[in-house]
Amino acid sequence: METNLEEGVIVQKTKELCETILKQPEFQSIQSRIDQFTSNESAKAQFDALNEKGEFLHHKQHEGVTLSPAEVADFEKERDLVLANPVIRSFLDAQHEVHKIQETVGSYVGKTFELGRVPKKDDFDAGSCGAGCGCH
């Protein structure tokens, strides 16, 4: 097999897979929800502020500083407000769906290399939690 993949059959078939994914109604819904979030400055600012606060608190803990109950409560309150925002919630759900698609495609490709054939559904039900789970 040629390892120069520039415009070989593997790249062509990968592009076809990408086109198939793009045409799925689920993907179109995902893209719409992501676009709604990225075009909503208020939601992005609210989301970014929570992430910055979370990173700051994580850094404090990593440095050995104990967080005060007020800091934790304030963060949890802000997190609840962020998750109550339907634009942000929808965006997070869309991100999760994208991750599941990526995991599925990656699992099939990985199993193909592992097994030397196209995997069947049963090949994924063999007791593994997924790539890198360490349970087997």
**For the chain, what is the total number of helices (H) and then of strands (E)?**
6, 0
Q: How far apart are CA 124 and CA 83, in angstroms?
A: 33
Look at the chain and report how many structural domains it folds into: 1
Is 37 domain-assigned? no
Is 97 domain-assigned? yes
Is 135 domain-assigned? no
Once rounded to an integer, what is the mean pLDDT over residues 7-34?
A: 94
Is 7 domain-assigned? no
Tell me what pLDDT residue 126 has: 61
Is 48 domain-assigned? no
Q: How far apart are CA 33 and CA 92, in angstroms?
A: 9
Is 77 domain-assigned? yes
pLDDT by residue (tens digit) across 91-118?
Answer: 999 999 999 999 999 999 999 999 999 9
Is 52 domain-assigned? no
Residue 104, domain extent: 58-119
DSSP SS3 for 1: coil
Q: How far apart are CA 26 and CA 24, in angstroms?
A: 5
Is 39 domain-assigned? no
Q: How far apart are CA 71 and CA 80, in angstroms?
A: 14
